[in-house]
Amino acid sequence: MTETPGGRDAEAVSKFVESFAAQLVEAGMQRMPARVFAALLSSDDGTMTSVELGEQLRISPAAVSGAVRYLAQTHMVSREREPGSRRERYRVHGDQWYEALTNREALIKRWEGALREGVASLGENTPAGRRMAETLAFFEFIEGEVAAMMERWRAHREREFGA
């Protein structure tokens, strides 16, 4: 058995990373970002360098860079400079799911604006206008539900983790 720096079975960690990454891919995430995210999530302090990620996942620096760029754009990880170094560390935060979901709200708002224009352009009494109005109503409903759910999550997280 090969151990990780934290004393864990490296093979078991690798199996988890690949298994969880496969689940993320099945849900629509690209393969390399899913693997990098799962590796970061499974690290004890939630941070790794490009070299560490490359070694653990057996991928090139370019693959790490592309994956991290995608994950940073989706607010799943952040980049940090090591003090006194040009090296970057990549960090997954405990609230990454909250952040990712919350940042989708801006996208939903833009879709709502476009759908409102569509309803106005097509006419609310046309079949296409009604379909677009129903889609708009769905996004407005989801937006309200997500906001309420995130409030409940914050209270639950405080009770469970004191965070």
Give the β-pairing of 88-91 and 47-49. antiparallel
Q: What is the rounded distance in angstroms from the CA atom of residue 128 to the CA atom of residue 119?
A: 8
- Which residue stretches of the chain are H helix? 10-26, 31-42, 50-57, 61-73, 96-122, 127-161
pLDDT tens-digit series, residues 18-33: 999 999 999 899 999 9
Instruction: Answer yes or no: are the C-beta atoms of 34 and 24 closer than 8 Å.
Output: yes
pLDDT band at 6 (very low <50, low <70, confident <90, very high): low
Q: What is the structure's pLDDT at 107?
A: 79
Q: Of residues 95 and 59, which shows the higher confidence score?
A: 59
Query: 87 pLDDT exceeds 90?
Result: no
pLDDT band at 109 (very low <50, low <70, confident <90, very high): confident
Q: What is the rounded distance in angstroms from the CA atom of residue 13 to the CA atom of residue 81?
A: 26
Tell me what percent of the residues of the chain surpass a pLDDT of 70. 93
Q: What is the structure's pLDDT at 82?
A: 76
pLDDT tens-digit series, residues 115-130: 999 999 999 999 999 9
pTM here is 0.72
Q: What is the rounded distance in angstroms from the CA atom of residue 33 to the CA atom of residue 68?
A: 7
